[in-house]
Amino acid sequence: MIKILEFDKTEKEKIFARVSPLCDVEKTVAEIIADVKENGDSALKKYCEKFDGAVLSDLRVSEEEIQKAFADTDAELIKVMRHSAKNITAFHEKQVRQGFEIINEDGATVGQKITAIESVGVYVPGGTAAYPSTVLMDVIPAKVAGVKKIVMTTPSKNGKIAPVILAAAKIAGVDEIYKTGGAQAIAALAYGTQSVPKVDKIVGPGNAFVAEAKKQVFGAVAIDTIAGPSEILVISDGKSNPEFVAADLLSQAEHDKLASAVLITDDLKFAKKVSEEIERQIVLLPRYEIARASIDNNGKIIVANDLNEAVKISDEIAPEHLELCVDLPFEILKKVHNAGSVFLGRFSPEAFGDYIAGPNHTLPTGGAAKFSSPLSVDDFIKKTQYVYYPETSAKAVSKGVALFAENEGLTAHAKSALLRGNKN
C-alpha cells in the first residue's frame, strides 16, 4: 500500500528519498562493448541469438518488412500516430534556432551558425512492451533539426520487430533500422560494424545495460542522457477526483518496479481517498505485479500544509512529470522551477503528454530536472562561432590582446596578436 507521510511530522529523508536505479552491470557491459568493437556483426548476431532467440543472416530491416508491418498495423492506430506526429512536429518546429551576426565596438564581425548533427542513432526498447511513442518522440525532433541520417536499433523477438514499431518508424522518417538491442546495440552505434553505421550521437531510453553502455561510450559519441526509472508527481488540492489522481499515479507505476508515483496534497482526507482508490484500481491492471512493487516500495502521498509548501517540496524532488490538479494551475506554474514536463488542470493527465500533445516525453529523471531539459531540437544541432577582424580593427586591438596574453604567460599568443598590429 502507498505510504502517507505528513510533511511536518515525517523525517525529511523519507519525504525526499528516491529509489536507486544502480545495477552492477559495468563489467558485463564493458565486455559486450569490447566484443562488438572487435568482432562487429558476428558479435551482434551472437547476442541476438542469445538474448532475442533470433538467428539472423541480415541485421538490417528490409523495406519489405517495413511495408508489411505498416499494412498489418491497425488503421485507426496509424491515424492516431499520424496525428501525434503532426503535433510533435508543430511543437518542435517552434524550437528551431537561427544563427546570428553582430558587429562589436572593435569593428569585428562575430557570429554563430547552426548546423544539424549529421547522423543520429535512436535506441528503442523492446523488452516488456513495445513503445512506438518513443520512436516518434526521439526521431521527429532530429528530423526537424535537419539530421541527414537517422539509424534506429531495437531488439527483435525471434527475429521479428513489433509491427507498430516499424510503422511508427516509417511515419517518423527513420532511414535505417537494425534488429539489435541492449548494450551491444549501443556499442554498434558508437563504433560501427560491418552493417551498422557509426553515428555522431545516440538518444533513447533503455534498461540498466543500455544506460551503462551509453555511459561507457560517451566521448566516442555524444549521448542525450542517462535515463532512470519513470516518475510522476501530482500536486492536488482536495477538490480533484480521487479516481483520476489514482489512475494518473498508476500510469507511471505500471512502467517498471523502480518507477515512483508521488502525490502531494494539503488535504489528509483526500490523501486517504486516493490511497483507497489506488488499491481498488491496481488489482485490475494487467501489469499488476509491476505496479504493486512500484507503489509499495516507491510510492508515497505527502501531506503538506498548503499548496505553496507543496510546490517547494516538488521543486526539491524535481520530478520527471508534474501534474498540477488545482483550480488555478497557470498561477501555480509560475512558482514551479524544477520539473521535466508539467500538466495543468484536472483534465490534462500525463498520458496525454506521452502520446499526443506534442511536447517531448523524453525527460530528465532522478532529480536531473534541476539542471537539464526535455529532449528537443537543441539536442540535434551544433553551434559554431566565427570571428572576422578587418585589418584596421586588428591593429586597434592587438596591443590589448598581447597584454592580456603576456599576463597569462602565453608569449606566442602575444606575438600572434602583435604581428597583426605591426603589419604594413
Among all residues, which ones are annotated catalytic? 320-321
Residue 223 zone, left/alpha/beta (φ > 0; ψ -120 to 50; rest): beta
C-alpha cell read off for 121: 542513432
- 362 vs 25, 76, 97, 203, 235, CA distance in Å? 23, 25, 20, 9, 21
Q: Are 263 and 275 in contact (CB under 8 A)?
A: no
Closest CA to 376 of 96, 113, 86, 172: 96
Q: How many CA atoms lie within 13 A of 309 on its CB side?
A: 14
SS3 at position 41: helix
Q: Are 346 and 256 in contact (CB under 8 A)?
A: no
What is the DSSP secondary-structure string of 68-120?
Answer: HHHHHS-HHHHHHHHHHHHHHHHHHHTT----EEEE-TTS-EEEEEEEE-SEE
Q: Which H or E run includes 300?
A: strand 300-303
Single-letter residue type at 86 = K
Q: Are 300 and 265 in contact (CB under 8 A)?
A: no
Place of cell 535505417: 176
Instruction: Report CA Rg, the chain.
Output: 25
Count CB atoms within 10 A of the CB of residue 77.
14
Cα separation, 154 vs 122, in Å, equals 9
Q: Which H or E run includes 367?
A: none
Cα separation, 132 vs 270, in Å, equals 36
Sign of CA dihedral 138, 79, 343, 18: negative
Cα separation, 298 vs 169, in Å, equals 34
- 406 vs 97, 395, 400, 417, 421, CA distance in Å? 38, 17, 10, 11, 16
User: At a CB cut-off of 8 Å and minimum separation 6, what does 218 contact?
Assistant: none
